[in-house]
Each structure stands twice: as structure tokens, then as C-alpha cells.
Structure 1
């Protein structure tokens, strides 16, 4: 119940809104799916009621050692494992209680584990990083597309009203031709930022986990295919479930006594699964984002591709109309029309493209075209220019 209440706070991120669609499908994977997933993971690792206390340390019967004090001390000052005991068998007769937990000598090398204190904060920070490109693009876009769509996304509309809006929108597109290149460049930069953000987060997690994240998923897959008695689970190596802690305190005569404690990190049961999933998801997301960026470059650089996309979107009745439009469009003009095609009802967009084609070719409106040739009042034309 606690987890359900916590996740309820994230409904705003995944709630479907009726604003204009200004993102690509890959873009949404970053700011909507990945960011929401990271925020959910952040809530999950802070919901201690799922696994109990995040740390519990076992100590001797010394009355001066209080459970709460010992647990708090070891949580704050970090715990450690011994690398020399990682790949050994454990249990009776081995001298090793658990992978990485065994007899400690002054010359032994220790691997300290402090990351578990920072996992919730890092996950929240990563969620913000994946949401940032969306916020930046939405700020740069400034509601431009929403203002020029003018309700043409509604399939059922009064015929005269549709005619007027299409005519008005064609006026704006014709008058602002070749003035949208920077609009497209800003979107491309945000898509590039999405890919850079994904790669940076993979590097960041590798540094955060002591250089073990890059091969983490591969190691987990390899472990499932080998005899578990011959190899240590890589999830235990990165996220140990049992560790050691040295607690120092004064004895009766003022001499410092060191108590060797064994601590159970129950929270790592969740952490190890989260980061396995994140490894696979980030690899898939990086590959998809790279392919999407290459596709975007091809669309921006090859006019034939842009022409084909508009033809597919508009389904024009006069095939030469798309050629007339494509020859005059620059990258920014195409990008704006492509976004319009995603937000404007098909019939309206087809009529809009026909109207724009006739304006660009300096011809009269075709008599069969379902668009009124009546002039639009100048004050309405100025209004849409100001809104856009």
C-alpha cells in the first residue's frame, strides 16, 4: 500500500494530455518512459517497508553495543568486503562466511561500499537529467505549434469554419516560408542531447559503481550459463548482501577496542535488480537513439526523403502538388509541416497542402479543392502571426 501511494504521485508524468504533439516517439522514450522509470526506482529504494531496515549488523553480547547505534554507524561510515574471499567457496570448512566476508588481517585489501547511501539521490538526479531535454525543447518551442493548429485536429467540424482555418493557416505558412530553420535546429539539438545524456549516464553509473557497470549486464548473463559453484554471482560482487564493518569504542581501561561486525544489506536485493534492468534498457535506448539521430540527419539532408514523407502524410489528390511544395521548402519548413501532419486531421492536412501548393505555384485554387477561396480578414492573419 505504501508503494502504491508513492507511485500515485507520478501520475502527472504519464498522464496523457491533449496538447499538440511536438515530440518524436524516441524523444518520448527519454522524457516520459525513462524519467518516470527512474523516479519510480527512486521511490522503490526509499520504501524500506518492502525489505525492512536497509542495514542490520550482527555483534557480540557486549551490553555497550546497541543495535541502533551499530547499524547507524556502519551505514554512515560504510561497510567493506575482502576481495580475496570473493571467488572462494563459502560455508563450513572454508573459513569464509559469505563471498567477500572472512577473516580480516592488517595486510588485507578492503573494498568499501558507500554507494548504497547515494542510490536514491543518484536515481532522482538521473530522472531529472532525462526530463531536462523535454523541458528545454518545450521552452524553446513556446507553444508555437499549438497556436497554429487552431483546432484542426478535430475530425468533425463545421465546413465553413474548417475552410477559414485552413485558408488562414496557409496564409501563415506562405508568409513565413524559410523562417523556421532555427526551430528545426533546436529540436535536433534536443534529440542530440538525449543521446548524449544516455551515454553520459552509462559512464556516470560506471564511475558510481567503481567501474563495474559497463560489463554488469554481460557478466550477469554469463553467470546464468555457468555452474554457480564455479563462479561468484556478479550481482553479489557489485551489490554485496553481506559485508563487514569495524566498530571502534573505548574499553573499561580507556583502550580502543575494535569489534568485527557482519552486516546484512537487505536493500541491495532491490538495487541489484534495478541496475541489471537499467543496463539493458540504457544499451537498448542508446542504440535506438543513435539510429533515430541518423534517420533525422538523412531526413534533413535528403530532399527526396522529405518529399516522400509529406506525400505519405498528406495523401494528396494531385501528385504534382507535393513536388511544388517540396521544391520550395527548406528544412525548417518541412519540419513544421511534419509536426502539423501529426496534429492536424488527415482531410484538413491534405487540403492545407493543396492550398499551399497552389499559393507557391501562383495559381488559383482548384475548383474541386475542398477549401474556400474567400479572402481572410487581415486582422485574423495578424493574429495568428502574433500567436505563432
Structure 2
């Protein structure tokens, strides 16, 4: 089991070459690893040991009843959650069979949790897969091992010239490349929001407010509150098994079933609720930041200045004024990966080629 989890570290490797933001990396590295780990935990608990254990009668074999109730789903009773445990009902959500079928809340999801978590992990990796294909190794190719900074002067000069020639020759031709990355970030936010609604459907409309309900539950008086984790992930449920009796008539057997797997499920999904909320908030802030970058050249110049302080401010102003947003994004990505001294020299040379004379200045 431990070897499987160690393998996840190798599966989700984060390259030392940064072609995206740290928030974007949270989507395809940390979140994917979390979801895969949870999927493995649930799978192990589901297929090793008993995921369901029902109280049976002598007329029905134990394995038959357990298998039937696992496959056909169990149920709880809405009104029973409002009754006092130990006096009116034996367990939360467990009561006599109601007359109204609408009072039954069927628990149909637990067989699919491991598959759903795995599918969610795939969805979180899709934006990364798209950007990796669209980026096509551009940053790595332009770096030319200039991130090390330790090489002969002749080699360094040659590589700097190649990089500079590319930047000059392809100036104002990187907008589409940058916008595709911004689309991937937008897709990542859409995925987080969409998965909240996906899980809300998965849990019969009870997931969107799940975290708020858990917080509110802790603040209410113990006598008046319904545990939302037990309501969505019941540990004790009912199952109805029909069979022919000795007289040939249909006999109905009402069984109580324990779902130990739901103790794990409730912890997984309360964590995911808060994690997705935080991740969605951070991604929304990043997209707001991208919008400001697209609309404001002054902000682009200011961000380059505070991030790469070795570069002369007038040089930055000249470069930003004579380039487009996509070029700025490429410069920023290169600056994060190339040695800071080498990057400063390349930017100063680029400023000279773009007409910087030392007098150019744009207010920031």
C-alpha cells in the first residue's frame, strides 16, 4: 500500500522549468495527487474487507444479503433524522418503513466513489495537458541551458545572441501563444466550479452547502442539530430484500446495514469541499490579475520591474511599450527560468535594439 502512494510522487512530477503559475500547478499536481490518493484509499477499503455488513436472518445467507444491498443500494428515512436517537429511533435516519416513498433517501453513490475520484483527477489534469501541448517546449528551447549560468563566455555569448535574435525577429507574435495559456487557466477555474456542481448532483443536491452545514452543525445546540455528515454519508442504513417463502408467497425482509466506508467518504469530501473552495478562489484572483495585465501596459512594466530588479527600469518601459502582451508573458516566463544575470543582459540588449537610448521613460 505504501509503495502505491510512493508511486504517486513519481506520477505527478513538477518540472524545474516553469511554464505556468504556481496556482495553476496546484490544479494538476497537488489536486491530482490528492484525488488519486483518495481513490486508492477508497478502492482498498471497498475491495478489501466488507464495505457493507447487513444484519441478516437465518433464511437469507449473509453474503447474499450483503451483495444484494450493496448492488441495489440502501436507504435512510428523512423524518428519522429529526427524531431522538436511543428513544424514538435506534440510529440517525433509521426508522420503521414509511408509508410515503418520498420519505426514503436512497444511498446510491458509494459504489462509484472510487471511480468518481479517479475521473475528477483526469479532469483536473486536462488543462495542464492542453497547455503542455500548446506550449510545445518553447520555454525549454529558448532557455538553452542558460538557467545554469556556468558556461564558457564564448558559449554564453552565442546562446544569448540566439535568444536575442529570436526575441527581436518574433516580437509581437506571441499573443495567441499567451492567450492559449490564459484559456487553460480559465478552463481550470471552470473545472473546479463544474466539479462542485458535479458532486452536488452526485450527492442529490446536498454538496454545494456541505461545508457551511458542517460549520453550522458545530455551532448549534446538540439537541437541535442534524449532523450533515451522517445525513449525506449515513453509517447505518436500511435495505429491503424480497424472496419467496415456504408457502410460495413473497416475503419482505427489512435489514439494517452498516456502511463503514462512509466514515472515510465523509472525511474525504469535507476536505475536498474546502480545498475546491480555496482553489477556486485563488484561481479567480489569478484570472483577475490576468485581466489587469491584458488591459494595462503600465502594470506589465511594473510587474517586470518588481520581479526583475536587476533590469534598468527605463529599459523595461521601452520593451513593454514596443511589444505586446504575449511578448511580456514570454519575457516573464523566461525570467523565471533563465539565470538572473544572463536575463538582465539579454533584456538590456533587447532594449538597445528596440531603440532605448537612456532617455525613454514611461511613468509606472
TM-score normalized by the length of structure 2: 0.94
Distance 2:245 2:305 in 1: 85
CA deviation profile, 1:235-262 (whole Å, cap 9, x unmatched): 0000000000001111112211111000
Contact 2:28–2:125, Cα closer than 8 Å, also in 1: yes
CA deviation profile, 1:146-192 (whole Å, cap 9, x unmatched): 11110010032222221211111101100011111100010010010
Q: CA deviation at 1:27?
A: 0.3
The list of structure 1 runs, each at least 4 consecutive aligned residues, that deviate by more than 4 angstroms after superposition, is: none
Determine the structure 1 residue equivalent to 2:96. 103
Distance 2:304 2:39 in 1: 42
- What residue ranges of structure 2 are gaps of 5+ in the alignment? 358-364
Q: CA deviation at 1:28?
A: 0.5
Contact 1:51–1:266, Cα closer than 8 Å, also in 2: no
The answer to whether 1:123 aligns with 2:121 is no
Distance 2:316 2:155 in 1: 25
Q: Specify which of 12, 19, 23 is matched with residue 26 of structure 1.
A: 23
Residues 69-148 of structure 1 mapped to structure 2, 5 A cutoff = 69-91=64-86, 93-94=87-88, 96-108=89-101, 109-148=103-142
Residues 227-376 of structure 1 mapped to structure 2, 5 A cutoff = 227-316=221-310, 318-361=312-355
Q: Specify which of 38, 58, 63 is matched with residue 55 of structure 2.
A: 58
Contact 1:51–1:267, Cα closer than 8 Å, also in 2: no
The answer to whether 1:6 aligns with 2:4 is yes
Contact 1:13–1:32, Cα closer than 8 Å, also in 2: no
SS of structure 1 residue aligned to 2:223: coil
Distance 2:172 2:328 in 1: 10
TM-score normalized by the length of structure 1: 0.88
Taking a change above 3 Å as real, the CA distance of residues 285 and 319 of structure 1, as seen in their structure-2 partners, is: closer
Say how many residue pairs are matched.
Answer: 357
Distance 1:317 1:35 in 2: 37
CA deviation profile, 1:268-311 (whole Å, cap 9, x unmatched): 00000111111111111111111110001101210011111222
Contact 1:167–1:355, Cα closer than 8 Å, also in 2: no
Contact 2:315–2:356, Cα closer than 8 Å, also in 1: no
CA deviation profile, 1:300-353 (whole Å, cap 9, x unmatched): 210011111222333345432222211111011111111100110100100010
Taking a change above 3 Å as real, the CA distance of residues 317 and 221 of structure 1, as seen in their structure-2 partners, is: closer
Taking a change above 3 Å as real, the CA distance of residues 17 and 290 of structure 1, as seen in their structure-2 partners, is: closer
Q: CA deviation at 1:118?
A: 1.0
Taking a change above 3 Å as real, the CA distance of residues 135 and 168 of structure 1, as seen in their structure-2 partners, is: same
Query: For structure 1, which segment, 239-248 or 309-318, has the greater mean C-alpha deviation from structure 2 after superposition?
Result: 309-318
Distance 2:126 2:10 in 1: 16
Q: CA deviation at 1:196?
A: 0.6
Distance 1:8 1:316 in 2: 41
Taking a change above 3 Å as real, the CA distance of residues 362 and 304 of structure 1, as seen in their structure-2 partners, is: closer
Distance 1:54 1:238 in 2: 17
SS of structure 2 residue aligned to 1:332: helix
- What residue ranges of structure 1 are gaps of 5+ in the alignment? 364-388
Alpha-carbon RMSD: 1.8
